Amino acid sequence: MLSIIYNKSSKLLQHDKLSHIKFRVEMEVMWVTSHGRIFVGRVLFLLVLFLWIQTQAVVGRTRTIVTNSSTSSTPRVFRVGALFSLDSIIGRSAEPAIVAAFEDVNADSSILPGIKLEAALHDTNCSGFAGTMEALQLMEDEVIAAIGPQSSGIAHVISHVVNELHVPLISFGATDPSLSSLQYPYFVRSTQSDYYQMYAIADLVDYYRWREIIAIYVDDDNGRNGISVLGDALAKKRSKISYKAAFPPGAPRKDISDLLNGVNLMESRVFVLHVNPETGLSIFSIAQKLGMMDSGYVWIATDSLASALDSLEPIDPKILNLLQGVLALRHHTPDTDEKKNFLSRMKRLKNKETPSFNSYAVYAYDTVWLVARALDTFLKEGGVVSFSSDPNLSDTNGSTLHLESLHVFDEGPTFLQTVLGTNFTGLTGLVQFDNERNRIRPAYDILNIGGSGMRRIGYWSNYSGLSVVAPEILYKKPPNTSTSSQQLYGVIWPGETAVKPRGWVFPNNGKPLRIAVPNRVSYLEFVSKDKNPPGVRGYCIDVFEAAINLLPYPVPRQYILFGPGDRNPSYDDLASQVALNNYDAAVGDVTIVPNRTRFLDFTQPYIESGLVVVVPVKEIKSSPWSFLQPFTAEMWCVTGAFFILVGTVVWILEHRHNPEFRGKPKKQLMTVFWFSFSTMFFSHRENTVSGLGRLVLIIWLFVVLIINSSYTASLTSILTVQQLSSQIEGIDSLISSNQPIGIQEGSFARKYLTEELNIQPSRIVTLKNMEAYIDALERGPKDGGVVAVVDELPYIEILMSNTNCKFRTVGQEFTKSGWGFAFQRDSPLAVDMSTAILQLSENGDLQKIHDKWLLKQDCSTQENDVNINKLSLSSFWGLFLVCGIACFLALIAFFIRVLFQYTKFSPEPEQHDEENSPDRPKGKGPFGTTSSFRDLIYFVDKKEKEIKEILKQKSKKRRRSLSSDGQSSSSA
């Protein structure tokens, strides 16, 4: 095709007075592409360059005038420049695609009718200097747009040229995310930016729950800037790049081998490879020799690897053996019929330099169509293509560079906006740009290399993240990037295993895990120095060792005591030393507090902890009259009154029915008192007969049961009571007082009390060990001691257990925290250890370790609030009220029934009644004028059985009387 373009240019030489420049350019292209005539090409190039320098000034001025004079008529040929490395993996795929695109555009009558686009191909030869020179030469041809370059480094330099000349630079291969529209306004990227590719890799790392990766990249603009974006993307996922392994462009194999040897000694086993396509395969070859392609390793390659493999189809089995288990990204392009037909057409080309084509071929093809459609729209809207001289490029110092031969595209800004506003569907999908001049809907294929080729395990798009559904389908649904929706198919990892690699190992530099252990002088049950290996012992060490033993991998470790040994160390200093990488972890009674979690990672808490207030208590000897203390005087009086009241009510209700409640007045009085007080012990011998009496008795026995139970519990507490030696009842009363407070040396309690609770630092007394605790609490504030001690609950439990519960906690825990093992930020071991601690808790081993070291005398079962509280009437008035109401209602029912019977009783006593009852008072009856209260009392005192018998006989007499009266009236 280049020879065809050259022949067309040769015909133009006969009609163009300004042929020197064009002839030089075409001869140079032939020299670049004709590898068999290199020597002749160089001689001709030097000869033409000499002639061009002598005549450049005159020709340049004439050219400018002619171009300006011809702006009124539309030229029939427009030249579009193309800059890329022809002898490269991307170039070999892009060149035939660009040539085919120009042919298709010129053959399509619906676009640019009567106008032909001509390509000016220039080889940058993978060199920044050569690319710059080629760009300058390309600008001399007055091109309306430049396609390329494929190298981001060259694009940075050329962008300054096109900014000055107002020529849009549309690149299908420069993916450097730092090529921004603000710095380079005439740079347009027709492919996807590496910005999105790096976020796709970050989502991939987060999907498999890896936290650290090692980046291997070429130290050029594209490599550095891409890895910088990757670091930002990983930080949003709480991951990071632990090491950046950079090597210069064109580095020899020995340097790359040394670099890989170094990263192989590090902790992370997740490698992200961001290199050019020509370098990737050689890196994997070296990695295989170093054993870095075995199980446990993870390799994630950017699109350069997929581009190289796509250009080699069918792939050599030897190359596939190098890449088994590698994950790679590839630009996603829809699987349309147009794309399949285009690739089939490319593969049928004769004398093709590549056996297959990668994604850059279709992007290059769409780029030509982008320029053609933009030019068509530009001309239809009245745009004019014209060029003029740039006063900034005038030669004023006699230089022989003749920069004045470079001309400015007058309508370049308008044409640039037309390019950015173009919207069509090409082989790569929808071609449209957002506000930042990036292609919309960026997407990548996630590939897994294994077996005999590459297998797609999913997709990534900024619309829905990772998915096994093609982005074209997801675009029709609402966006969803939630964690639960992320999905990929299974992966065959290096070593031909389906088990996801852990992503890290302990470094192979022979250094074990450096574990700092507090060198305590008190509470040695938790952690202390030991003469036997590993040199430390205690509850915390046993928990850590048990968790380590549950991990599926060995953990070489070395315990290092931290602290002077004569006092407890500062735990804040210990945490700082771990954060500063002086230690890898801290194991001991380290409390998880907010200021430490800002720069450390803690495991799941293995024991609960919280600050409590401890005060001394003293025993009180029981008094001979202690049995009266459970109740107040008011309670005793009311209780006694109710005993008599209930006894009286029951006597009244039972007197007419029950012979046991009858007799002489003295006997009945004794019965009332005996019955009442015997119910206290449920030992009353009198039986209740009446229903009302039984009802009252049941309610009263329930009240007696409650009173007895309360009395017994209160008396038991009084006989074994202890009293506080101070008036401190919790943290609130401690804050309001002005007395000294004791804390443990090295504890975070000092900072909490002074900063959070605003307690004066002068009140804080640091105590060295348990003996100092006991002495300060027993002496009290009057004798130079403390009124209370504030410390964490595990320490206080040991203190109370070792002192036979001489001290008590008052109030509630006023902080909620726990103890955990501290690791450096983002340490993967912290997550695995948390899982192991949970497993220890579930299988009961954590409790067994606790019982081994900490379980002694349990003081938690005794009352914390040990003040003597007598039981008052306010606690029982409800019971007394219910009982009183029951008695009242029973009496009301009883007297109503008695009055009802009394009204039926005859007022005139019969003769035999008088004889049988000589003691009955004389009178006419209840309604007679001689009736009295004595009659009622006499009636009430009667037995129920006798009353019923009298009423029965009276009823018979009344019936006989009515019968005799009836007979008399009938006789009359």
Average pLDDT rounded to a whole number, residues 577-602: 93
Q: Which of 803, 614, 801 is nearest to 726 (CA)?
A: 614
Q: Which range marks the domain in which residue 754 is found? A: 614-619+724-816
On whether residue 600 sits in a domain, the answer given is yes
State how far the Cα of 178 lies from the Cα of 766, in Å rounded to an integer: 57
Contact indicator for 149, 83 with CB cutoff of 8 Å: yes
Residues 6 or more apart in contact with residue 719 via CB below 8 angstroms: 622, 626
Check whether 965 has a pLDDT greater than 70: no
Q: Which of 507, 496, 624 is nearest to 263 (CA)?
A: 507
* Residues 645 and 569 placed together within one structural domain of the fold: no
The whole-number pLDDT of residue 51 equals: 37
Question: In CATH, what number is assigned to the domain containing residue 843?
Answer: 3.40.190.10
Q: Which two tokens stand for residue 275?
A: 């290199």
Domain boundary among 837, 854, 871: 854
CATH of the domain at 459: 3.40.50.2300
Q: Do 212 and 119 reside in the same domain of the chain? A: no
Check residue 76 and give its pLDDT: 81
Residues 217 and 325 in one domain: yes
Residue 421 lies in a domain: yes
Do both 120 and 204 map to the same domain?
no
The Cα–Cα gap between 961 and 972 comes to 17
- For residue 627, is pLDDT > 90? no
pLDDT at 404 over 80: no
| Count of C-beta atoms within a 10 Å radius of residue 489 | 11
Q: Are residues 764 and 681 in the same domain?
A: no
Q: Examine residue 27 and state whether it is found in any structural domain, yes or no.
A: no
C-alpha distances in angstroms, 288 versus 254, 280, 282, 329, 500?
14, 13, 10, 21, 20
**Banded model confidence at residue 934, pLDDT cuts 50, 70, 90:** low
Nearest to 656 by CA among 948, 883, 896: 948
Are both 212 and 330 inside the same structural domain? yes
pLDDT for 748-790, tens place per residue? 899 999 999 999 999 999 998 889 999 999 898 888 899 999 9
Percent share of the chain, pLDDT over 70: 76
The answer to the question of residue 321 being in a domain is yes
Give per-residue pLDDT as tens, 872-910.
Answer: 777 777 777 888 888 888 788 877 777 776 666 644 444
Q: Which pLDDT tens digit goes with each residue over 179-238?
A: 888 889 999 999 999 999 999 999 999 999 998 999 999 999 899 999 999 999 999 998
Taking the C-alpha atoms of residue 28 and residue 34, their distance in angstroms, rounded to an integer, is 10
Count of structural domains, the chain: 5
Question: Do 446 and 330 belong together in one domain?
Answer: yes
Count of residues in the chain: 972
Residue pointed to by tokens 């202890």: 722
- The SS3 assignment for 685 reads coil
In a domain, 882, yes or no: no
What is the per-residue pLDDT for 726?
Answer: 62
Whether residue 835 sits in one domain with residue 747: no
Q: In one letter, which amino acid is 602?
A: F
Residue 45 pLDDT greater than 90, yes or no: no
Tell whether 330 and 479 lie within a shared domain.
yes
Same-domain check for residues 698 and 551: no
pLDDT of residue 662: 64
| Position 306 confidence tier, pLDDT thresholds 50, 70, 90 | very high
- Kindly report the CA angle at 391 between 386 and 392, in degrees rounded to 5? 115
In the predicted model, what is the mean pLDDT of the chain? 80
Q: What is the Cβ-side half-sphere exposure of residue 681, based on CA atoms within 13 angstroms?
A: 6
pLDDT in tens, 356-371: 889 999 999 999 999 9
Residue 961 maps to a domain = no
Residues 218 and 330 both lie in one domain: yes
Q: Is residue 971 part of a domain?
A: no
Do 330 and 206 share a structural domain? Answer: yes
What distance in Å separates the CA atoms of residue 960 and residue 952, rounded to the nearest whole number? 13
- Domain end point (choices 688, 720, 752): 720
Tell me: pLDDT of 794 over 70: yes
DSSP three-state, residue 568 = coil
Cβ atoms of residues 720 and 762 within 8 Å: no
pLDDT of 946 = 67
In a domain, 965, yes or no: no
